[in-house]
Structure 1
Amino acid sequence: MLILLPPSEGKTPADAGDPVDLEQLHFPELTAARQDVAEALAAVSAQDDALAHLGVGASLSHEVLRNTRLAHEPAAPAHSIYTGVLYDALGYRSMTPTQKRKADDAVVVVSGLWGAVGFADRIPAYRLSMSVGLPGVGKLASYWKPKLARALEDFSTAHLLVDCRSSTYAAAWVPAPERTVAVNVFTERDGTRKVVSHFAKHTRGELARHLLTRRGKAPETPEQLAKAAAEKWQVELVPGTARKAHMLNIILED
């Protein structure tokens, strides 16, 4: 089982440590592409219109400035850099050592800057969304799509993929539908369902934690995944097609 996560919008910078070593990250075939994106990001972040280009407000100017010196910023494991609703619900810090090792092996974060990283890969904090376009690179989802297909396909072939990414990040890599389950979250009241965003992030984080901390074998099929999720939630599994992934719908009471 592999769990695909989006990065968090906000990041918690490392207090100290060596800078990122791109060749030590998972998927080293992405090293040259990562370098190109980092250089384009640094150039954009140094411009007067950097905030508008990156789609952020003035309160985040210090994060944009950090983009100009990523090669020298201290790095830390991705699970400590990425924070926010989903990652708080996943709760890596409160896991046992065995559970943490399981998370390090199972979680892949798809990123606008790095393409994809493992959960224990050491990275610096940065500010960049997959929805952004960079000079010389273009729209990041389009830029990464063929590169991630080559890098991740062999790596993921033998695994069930639990896709907890948002649509922006899901566009950067579309894995084989027969072994992929996209996780959706709804609230339901009086038989009417509504898509949620904040609770979706939280619930996807809780699902990831449940899958990483529960006893027993990791799910190997969509049906086993639905059974595992049903230990905590009301769920339904919508079978996939030749072109569309399976869907695990988690229904929360409104």
Structure 2
Amino acid sequence: MLVLLPPSEGKASSGRGAPLKLESLSLPELTGAREAVLAELVELCAGDEGKAREVLGLSEGLRGEVAKNTELRTAGVRPAGEIYTGVLYDALDLASLDPAAKRRATRSLLVFSGLWGAVRVTDRIPSYRCSMGVRLPALGALGAHWRAPMADAMAEAAGGGLVLDLRSSAYAAAWKPKGETAGRTATVRVLHAPTRKVVSHFNKATKGRIVRSLLSSGAAPKGPAELVEALRDLGYEVEAQAPARSGTAWALDVLVDEIH
């Protein structure tokens, strides 16, 4: 099972000690594309701060994020699973998983990123600010920048098993499963059961809890249909829509009574 996650907008501070080593990150096919984004991002943020904030979509109050990006090559690093914070990652709570579940997380979780393309939770990275929706002056839209290199990298990363796609639309732009891979991919919406309305903030928390439940239980669904059964066994109310045609993903709705 491969679980695709969005990053968090807010991030923990960088680590101490040794700086980033791009060549050490997972999915080495992405190294060239990572270097291109990293180089332009550092140069942009080391120049005109106002322009950098405009490009990155940052308010005056977040000017410190621009300064942080200038130090990406020299800042200390820490595991991506510690860098990413926020609602989904708080609910997932990687640090409190038992050893077996942590090993499953290392194998199964892939976090998409505007700067790195995608990383494993054990990949050591500095704190940064660069969403997938950014359009850099030279490289252009990052979603488009990542499509070709991600297509090559994901062919191997997706393997032959289930792909659970929990990314937001901005990050889904970097890679879209096609053909046979799409047929074993499932996306998830979280709906408020009484109203059948999509929840927003609590969507992330529920998705974090779903991933934690799967990792903690040791469930190993081979495909979307088995995923539906596994989630129901774990106590989730799930409605599934199998694809009407080949080459498209399954759509799962997880229903919650309380929005918390």
Structure-1-length-normalised TM-score: 0.95
Aligned residue for 1:237?
A: 240
Q: Show the 5 A alignment for 1:100-111.
A: 100-111=102-113
Q: Match of 1:205, as an amino acid?
A: G
Q: Which residue is equivalent to 1:253?
A: 257
* Residue 193 of structure 1 pairs with residue 196 of structure 2: yes
Is 1:208 aligned with 2:211? Answer: yes
SS in 1 for 2:255: strand
Partner of 2:36: 36
2: CA distance, partners of 1:17 / 1:80: 16
CA distance in 1: counterparts of 2:170 and 2:42, whole angstroms: 22
1:52-110 CA-partner distances (Å, limit 9, x unpaired): 21111122211221111101011110000000000000010111122111101110011
Q: What are the equivalent positions in structure 2 for 1:66-215 lying under 5 Å apart?
A: 66-175=68-177, 176-189=181-194, 192-215=195-218
Q: Bigger shift: 51-60 or 33-42?
A: 51-60
Give 1:14 deviation, angstroms: 2.8
> 2: distance between equivalents of 1:109 and 1:150?
17
With normalisation by structure 2, the TM-score equals 0.93
Query: SS at 1:17's partner residue?
Result: strand
Question: What are structure 1's unaligned runs of at least 5 residues?
Answer: none
Contact 2:15–2:126 under 8 Å retained in 1: no
C-alpha separation in 2, matches of 1:146 and 1:163: 19
CA deviation digits over 1:148-185, x for unaligned, max 9? 01111122121210111011101110113101101111
Between the aligned partners of 1:81 and 1:89, the Cα distance in structure 2 is 15
Q: What amino acid is aligned across from residue 255 of structure 2 in structure 1? A: I
- Identity score, percent: 45
For 1:103 and 1:244, the matched residues in 2 are separated by: 26
CA distance in 2, matches of 1:131, 1:243: 26
Partner of 1:7: 7
**Corresponding residue number in structure 2 for 1:220:** 222
Amino acid at match of 1:13: S
Distance across 1 between alignment mates of 2:66 and 2:216: 36
Query: Which structure 2 residue ranges, 5 or more long, are not aligned?
Result: none
- Judged with a 3 Å threshold, the aligned counterparts in structure 2 of structure 1 residues 15 and 146 are, in CA distance, closer, same or farther, namely closer
In the alignment, is the contact (CA less than 8 A) between 2:15 and 2:75 conserved in 1?
no
